[in-house]
Amino acid sequence: MNYQALFDHVSLDSEIKITQNPSKLEKNISKIEKLIKKPFPVELKEFYSLCDGLDWEGNDKKESLPSLDLMFDNFKKHKKNLTYEMLEDGEIEPTDQPFYEQIWDDMTWDDLYELPEKQQKQKFEFMRRLKLLAYINGTSNNILIDFFDEKEEYKLYYQHNASAEIYPLHLDINRFYVIFCQVGFDEYWFYYYMSEADQKQLYPSFKPDFVEELFYYQVNFKFLEK
């Protein structure tokens, strides 16, 4: 994807302003790949080679995409197999762990109490390994990315109210950036990339009245593909 052409084209709209922060990819790429233990996805390399996150303004709203420092919470190492007991007993200092009080916290374990113990531990560990692709300004809702999925190079998720309510998004990084740069998070468009069951669980009254516009936003930048 030619992201610079995307930024430039979207910025032709007088109502949209994109501000790119200077790239720090070269400085941080080795830290990233050491953390995720594999190559950084090409789409993210291309995006972060042009900026270290960006600020977006449009439709009287402001949104941001995080710097690499924020995406990886200052490159803190994720300790595997952390249990609630380790936190409770003070064996582990939670603030040393990535995204404590951002994606997960002491209450996360309570949020998972209805699950069988094995699933509870699996979900807790899953939440702790997620990284931040984007946060929705003025809310506690996040778009998260999992670099450790067993079947895919990465997978995107929506986190509702900084809770254990995490929903898979059938969405790739290129499409996410293309739509975000045009509309920010207007209409919470990413709901259309959830399963129908998840849509109904999250918002039973959800109505797909944005579909035609969303199709336009997806196809409008096909010419940017390399």
Predicted confidence (pLDDT) per residue in 46-87, tens digit: 999 999 999 999 988 999 999 999 999 999 987 766 766 776
Average pLDDT over residues 121-147: 92
* Least confident residue range of 66-70, 169-173, 199-203: 199-203
pLDDT band at residue 207 under the 50/70/90 scheme: low
| In the chain, domain spans | 3-74+132-224
Per-residue pLDDT tens digits for 3-40: 999 999 888 888 899 999 999 999 999 999 999 999 99
Backbone angles phi, psi at 168, to 5 degrees: -65, 145
How many Å apart are CA 78 and CA 56, to the nearest integer? Answer: 30
> How much of the chain, in percent, has pLDDT values that exceed 70?
87
Say which residues have a Cβ less than 8 Å from residue 225's Cβ, sequence separation at least 6.
1, 2, 174
Q: How confident is the model over 181-187, as a mean pLDDT?
A: 88
Q: What is the pLDDT of residues 86-104, one digit of tens each?
A: 766 767 777 788 898 888 8
Please state, as a whole number, how many other Cβ atoms lie within 10 Å of the Cβ of residue 41: 16
Q: What is the mean pLDDT of the chain?
A: 87
SS3 assignment, position 23:
coil
Could you give the count of Cα atoms lying within 13 Å of 30 in the half-sphere of its Cβ? 2
- The confidence score (pLDDT) of residue 115 equals 83
Q: What is the pLDDT of residue 101?
A: 84
Q: How far apart are CA 24 and CA 18, in angstroms?
A: 18
- In the Cβ-directed half-sphere of 42, how many Cα atoms lie within 13 Å? 3
Specify whether the CB–CB gap between 157 and 166 falls below 8 A.
yes
Whole-number Å distance between alpha carbons of 31 and 93? 22
Predicted confidence at residue 31, as pLDDT, reads: 96
What is the three-class DSSP state of 100?
Answer: strand
